[in-house]
Amino acid sequence: MEQLNSLFKEKSLKVTPQRYAIYKYLKSTKSHPSAETIYEDLKVNYPTMSLATVYKTLRTLIEIGLVKEINVGEDNFRYDANVDTHPHLICRSCSRVDDIENYNFTFINEEAQKLTDYIIEDSKLFFYGICPECQKEGR
């Protein structure tokens, strides 16, 4: 949360309860929720929270680099407060999205840099398959 406070001060953005709650929520989960899901979950404790505020806050957090936006092939975006570049696992049966952690994939950026005249700054890597739970269910 210190990151939020100091970065907001620096950019002269206001730390409102809504913004705080949204960022804290994203920091606390690994489920890569959509805006709608964030909204639904926060509404319980923040009954006046509006979906528009969720979207506006997410946009702000993305702009200052505290959140990343991903699209795994659905009709909506998902949000992740883990901004370290890391691969995602997407289950094509239940649509859950997991992280691959503790493994450094950044070498692929360097690998790609050798193959192109682009200046490569970042990458997104998605693996598609079947999660352990769905395998057990025989899906």
Partner DNA sequence: TTCCGTGCAAACAATTTGCAGAATT
Partner DNA sequence: AATTCTGCAAATTGTTTGCACGGAA
Interface residues toward its own copies, by CB under 8 A:
69, 71, 73, 87, 89, 91-92, 98, 100, 102-103, 105, 108-109, 112, 115-132, 135
The yes or no reply on residue 120 touching DNA (CB under 7 A) is no
C-beta atoms surrounding 55 within 10 Å: 15
Which residues, 6+ apart, have CB-to-CB distance to 139 below 8 Å? 93, 94, 130
Please give the Cα distance from 112 to 95 (Å, whole number): 29
The yes or no reply on residue 37 touching DNA (CB under 7 A) is no
The dihedral built from the CA positions of residue 115, 118, 122 and 124, taken in this order, carries a sign that is negative
Local structure of 91: helix, strand or coil? strand
The yes or no reply on residue 17 touching DNA (CB under 7 A) is yes
Q: Binding segment for DNA among 34-42, 96-104, 108-116, 117-125 (CB under 7 A)?
A: 34-42
Is 80 annotated in a binding site? The answer is no
Between residues 6 and 109, which has the closer beta carbon with respect to its own copies?
Answer: 109
